[in-house]
């Protein structure tokens, strides 16, 4: 892979040449980009010698748009060390030197940051807010670690060691698409249950989790049948076929039709458990000052139905969105609905659940294995789920 190592001005910059060396040893082509401050800690000659390529550090030196040509060249950008300053710049869209300009231009390609700073700086709400912003944009953080810092105190802020950062690069390299994954069903988004011609019962699901799962499965090599409730999200992947539905019963019909032809299914949709027993074909009028009573009937449980249809060669994964007794409720759903895995997310975790770009999950398998994620972007959570449930 062609990797750009960006170096900013912190004492941990002295470890950057070792990172470059390890990456080259792994077979990557490496080029370095450094801020002016970084060059107070590590020299141009060192970085050019270990990388074997000219250093990019001056936005105006060449008279060419090198931040664009370097962006076109690079397949991944690692910022190590990443100071509070560069983290703040990227989170706020500031591009005022060679590296920050390159980082903004690099949007859409994989970026890893290894933060390093004093522990008080790391704990500052502004830094934490910026970190959350970057994670939500799918920028992956490695570290920081706890230990002795350059200022002599112990705390969280040490840059992860170069071998840990190099290992993170290996893990984030996308798997070779595996066509043996076959076909997978994914459900996503909310369902709308009509009350009359203008009103419905719905929920806050945006479809982001389910669309990220469809993308991750397709990237891994699967053919994906995505059955999506009402959402404005789009997905453009040759291996993803989208069927758009509105109600739980329509989702049920689409899912039960396609499931027998699938190797597995992940049901992340927030399906309405109830629907109005009748739907008026006109707009219901206000009835004086009297209240309105809706008679609700139960919708079919799609996941439980697939659990009864499932054969030994199929993998069935459900989600559990809980607000209390999380683990016990998730475990109960896993057993009752005959699942292989359940992905628990709790509305008590900040940044998890409906609408947001991030999630924090626990993946529980039928045989009792558990994997807990930190707060990650939904894209990263989706990759983690796919890695866990597929061979
Ligand atoms: O769409 P986002 O904004 O990204 O939000 C993501 C999410 C919060 C919707 C997602 O992460 C999530 O938790 N999805 C499941 C929501 C839910 O309905 O959970 P539940 O615990 O009520 O349902 C358990 C499981 O049964 C789910 O897999 C659900 O899809 C399925 N189910 C539920 C009811 C029903 N009638 N049919 C079903 O298939």
Does 242 have pLDDT greater than 90? yes
Residue 290 phi/psi, 5-degree rounding, is: -75, 150
3 state SS of 268: coil
More confident residue, 377 or 100: 100
Sole residue written with tokens 């930190």? 374
Q: 205 C-alpha to center of ligand 1: Å?
A: 9
3 state SS of 99: helix
Instruction: Please check whether residue 63 is in contact with residue 100, taking contact to mean a CB–CB distance below 8 angstroms.
Output: no
pLDDT at site 348: 94
pLDDT at site 176: 64
Active-site residue numbers? 151
Shortest-distance Cα residue to atom 21 of ligand 1: 320
Residue among 378, 389, 336 at smallest CA distance from 184: 389
- Out of 191, 205, 215, 323, mutate this one to test ligand 1's pocket (max ligand atoms within 8 Å of CB): namely 205
pLDDT at site 345: 96
- Out of 269, 325, 364, mutate this one to test ligand 1's pocket (max ligand atoms within 8 Å of CB): namely 269
Instruction: Please check whether residue 128 is in contact with residue 106, taking contact to mean a CB–CB distance below 8 angstroms.
Output: no
Average pLDDT of the residues in 193-222:
96
Residue among 234, 1, 223 at smallest CA distance from 110: 1
Q: 98 C-alpha to center of ligand 1: Å?
A: 44
Where residue 223 falls among pLDDT bands split at 50, 70, 90? Answer: very high
Q: Which helix (H) or strand (E) holds 112?
A: strand 111-115
| C-alpha span between 213 and 211 (Å, rounded) | 5
pTM for this predicted structure: 0.70
Q: 329 C-alpha to center of ligand 1: Å?
A: 13
Q: 299 C-alpha to center of ligand 1: Å?
A: 14
Each residue of 103-160: pLDDT tens digit? 999 988 899 999 999 999 999 999 999 999 998 888 989 999 988 888 888 889 999 9
pLDDT at site 175: 55
* Cβ neighbours of 72 (radius 10 Å): 10
Number of helices followed by number of strands (H, E) in the chain:
13, 21
Share of the chain above pLDDT 70, in %: 98
Sole residue written with tokens 């190590």? 80
Q: Is 306 in the pocket of ligand 1 (CB under 6 A)?
A: no
Q: Is 377 in the pocket of ligand 1 (CB under 6 A)?
A: no
């Amino acid at each position: 892979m062609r990797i750009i190592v960006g170096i900013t001005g912190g004492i941990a910059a002295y470890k950057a040449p070792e990172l470059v060396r390890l990456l080259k040893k792994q077979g990557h082509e490496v080029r370095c980009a450094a801020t002016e401050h970084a060059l107070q800690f590590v020299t141009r000659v060192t970085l050019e010698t270990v990388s074997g390529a000219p250093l990019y550090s001056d936005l105006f030196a060449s008279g060419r748009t090198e931040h664009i040509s370097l962006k076109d060249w690079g397949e991944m950008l690692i910022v190590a060390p990443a100071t509070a300053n560069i983290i703040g710049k990227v989170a706020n869209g500031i591009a005022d030197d060679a590296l920050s300009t390159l980082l903004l231009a690099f949007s859409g390609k994989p970026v890893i940051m290894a933060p390093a700073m004093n522990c008080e700086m790391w704990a500052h709400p502004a830094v934490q807010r910026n970190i959350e912003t970057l994670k939500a944009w799918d920028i992956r953080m490695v570290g920081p670690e706890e230990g002795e810092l350059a200022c002599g105190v112990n705390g969280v802020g040490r840059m992860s060691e170069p071998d840990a950062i190099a290992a993170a690069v290996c893990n984030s390299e996308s798997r070779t698409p595996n066509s043996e994954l076959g076909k997978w069903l994914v459900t996503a988004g909310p369902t709308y249950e009509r009350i009359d011609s203008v009103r419905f019962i719905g929920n806050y699901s945006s479809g982001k989790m389910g669309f990220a799962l469809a993308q991750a499965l397709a990237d891994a090599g699967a053919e994906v049948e995505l059955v999506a409730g009402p959402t404005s999200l789009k997905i453009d992947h040759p291996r993803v076929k989208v069927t758009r539905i509105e109600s739980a019963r329509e989702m049920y019909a689409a899912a039960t039709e396609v499931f027998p032809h699938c190797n597995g299914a992940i049901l992340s949709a927030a399906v309405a458990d109830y629907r109005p027993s009748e739907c008026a074909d006109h707009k219901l009028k206000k009835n004086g000052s009297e209240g309105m009573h809706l008679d609700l009937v139960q919708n079919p449980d799609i996941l439980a139905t697939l659990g009864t249809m499932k054969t030994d060669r199929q993998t069935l994964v459900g989600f559990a969105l809980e607000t209390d007794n999380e683990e016990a409720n998730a475990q109960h759903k896993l057993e009752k609905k005959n699942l292989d895995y359940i992905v628990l997310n709790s509305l008590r975790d900040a940044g998890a659940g409906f609408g947001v770009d991030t999630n924090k999950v626990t993946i529980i398998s039928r045989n009792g294995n558990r994997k807990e994620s930190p707060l990650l972007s939904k894209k990263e959570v989706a990759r983690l789920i796919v890695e866990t449930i597929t061979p």
